[in-house]
Amino acid sequence: MFGKVLIANRGEIALRVHRACQEMGIRTVAVHSTADASAMHVRLADESVCIGPPPARDSYLNTAAILSAAAITGADAIHPGYGFLSENARFAEMVEAHGLAFIGPSPEHIRMMGDKVAAKEAMRRLGVPLVPGSPGALSSLEEARAVAADVGYPVLIKAAAGGGGRGMKVARGEAELEEAYRVARAEARAAFGDDSVYLEKYLDRPRHIELQVLADTHGTVVHFGERDCSLQRRHQKLVEEAGSPALSAAERDALGGTVTRALAELGYRNAGTLEFLWQDGRFAFIEMNTRLQVEHPVTEMVCGIDLVKEQIRIAAGERLGYRQSDIRFHGHAIECRITAEDPETFAPCPGRVTTYHAPGGLGVRVDSALYSGYAVPPHYDSLVAKLVVHGATRAEAIARLRRALDEMVVDGIRTTLPLHRAIVDDPEFRRGDYTIHWLERFVARRRAE
């Protein structure tokens, strides 16, 4: 097992990885920008190294500075967290070229899944259901017309190098196709330096359901069930649940079986998440994320497994000590992402937190790097706390969430806490009756009142 792990991240996720390391007897190295010198992840780590000025490209994305920090501190491995360098295949290669372990998938698999066309082709070959669409990247407008006529309108043009909602254009009929094709290509070229695009039938009211998997380097692949991440606004998730209020255990088992067989065939390793759209009782794969995700705690709460410890054990070459049949799902978990943003306009609200009080009690978990007196810097993501609750049933989890949201205090800055309280009180949310479009409309309705 590793003696020392460098955590190439900040905020609550750096803390999350630190906690797993501590419990495993592994020392930790924090890296930080000058803006984060007094951040909680720096305070808790065994050692810390300043890697540059506030802008992320000069610090948390500065691969040379991070690799130097690993060398001078004698770290054995690097955990990238999520965001920043977590899905950068070249960084994973550099880490391995320096004789360190990258706590994540192989560079080849990171690269494959970063190319959304290659990811879909791999999943199709392995028998995972897809959204109907072009067999690969589109080679011409004529091909786009032919595929669209075949699958039927409306259709979506997506960037091969995109993902997470960037570079998508809808065409509701043939008259809109040429414009969508041209704009999508131009935007993809500007954003990613790659104008490859592909086409899919547009699903108009899906849920966003993702499946958590782990694979060791000895051929065992297991899944930890699904998360329902439909409650998002502009591709930023606000609330996530495990399991999905819409799925049966039989649907989860069937999907899990298909996916674990596919990833075993692919030789995938470490943690991964497969994203699906679910509509009319059918799953369609859209993308795979080759990292730990922000919302992983809801899965941990229902499975009773520490996913970060498992990632570290896998990277050290250990075997998963269990099979799929050993993984059981207990109760229901919900996460609220609390951000330093105006709860109506979503404008970022960095600044000093005068009072921070975290809720507690049975079934309540708070992953946060906040403390009273902490100044939320303006340079990074606005996530300040993840409030995660677990209950024996979804109803109990909701009651517990309402109570915990009432206890929680973040004073001095505006946060999305009031919005989370309103969501939890909404009858449709309580019934689990929502799609990916629900939150956008909910926010608009609240602002109109």
Residue 76 sits in the site that holds ligand MV4 (CB under 6 A):
no
Q: Which of 74, 135, 152, 164 binds ligand MV4 (CB under 6 A)?
A: 164
Q: Which of 165, 219, 257, 360 binds ligand MV4 (CB under 6 A)?
A: 165
Q: Which of 202, 356, 429, 438 binds ligand MV4 (CB under 6 A)?
A: 202
Which two three-digit tokens encode residue 189? 């070229």
Q: Give the shortest CB-22-to-ligand MV4 separation in angstroms.
A: 34
How far apart are the C-alpha atoms of 235 and 393, rounded to whole Å? Answer: 28
Residue among 131 and 315 whose Cβ is closer to ligand MV4: 131
Question: Using the 8-state DSSP alphabet, how is residue 133 labeled?
Answer: B
Q: Give the shortest CB-375-to-ligand MV4 separation in angstroms.
A: 32
Q: Give the shortest CB-289-to-ligand MV4 separation in angstroms.
A: 9
Residue 152 sits in the site that holds ligand MV4 (CB under 6 A):
no
Residue 235 sits in the site that holds ligand MV4 (CB under 6 A):
yes
Reported in sequence order, the residue ranges of 164-281 that DSSP labels E, i.e. its strands, are 166-171, 197-201, 207-215, 221-233, 236-242, 270-279
How far apart are the C-alpha atoms of 396 and 224, rounded to whole Å? Answer: 21
Does the annotation count 291 as an active-site position?
Answer: yes
Q: Which of 48, 232, 290, 435 binds ligand MV4 (CB under 6 A)?
A: 232
Residue among 210 and 381 whose Cβ is closer to ligand MV4: 210
Q: Which of 156, 315, 333, 397 binds ligand MV4 (CB under 6 A)?
A: 156
Residue 180 sits in the site that holds ligand MV4 (CB under 6 A):
no
Residue 436 sits in the site that holds ligand MV4 (CB under 6 A):
yes
How far apart are the C-alpha atoms of 76 and 86, rounded to whole Å? Answer: 17
Instruction: Please report, as a single letter, which amino acid is at residue 267.
Output: G
Residue 205 sits in the site that holds ligand MV4 (CB under 6 A):
no
Query: Considering 16, 111, 227, 291, which one is annotated as catalytic?
Result: 291
Q: How many residues interact with ligand MV4 (rule CB under 6 A)? A: 17
CA end-to-end span of the chain: 57
Which two three-digit tokens encode residue 86? 């977590």
How far apart are the C-alpha atoms of 171 and 148, rounded to whole Å? Answer: 9
Torsion-angle region of 324 (φ positive above 0: left; ψ -120 to 50: alpha; else: beta): alpha
Q: Which of 70, 211, 286, 417 binds ligand MV4 (CB under 6 A)?
A: 286
How far apart are the C-alpha atoms of 28 and 401, rounded to whole Å? Answer: 32
Question: Do 246 and 278 form a contact (C-beta atoms < 8 A)?
Answer: yes
Q: Give the shortest CB-280-to-ligand MV4 separation in angstroms.
A: 13
Residue among 164 and 361 whose Cβ is closer to ligand MV4: 164
Closest by CA position to 187, among listed 164, 163, 168, 171: 168
How far apart are the C-alpha atoms of 77 and 385, rounded to whole Å? Answer: 27
Residue numbers at the binding site for ligand MV4 (CB under 6 A):
131, 156, 164-165, 200-203, 206, 208, 232, 235, 275, 277, 286-287, 436
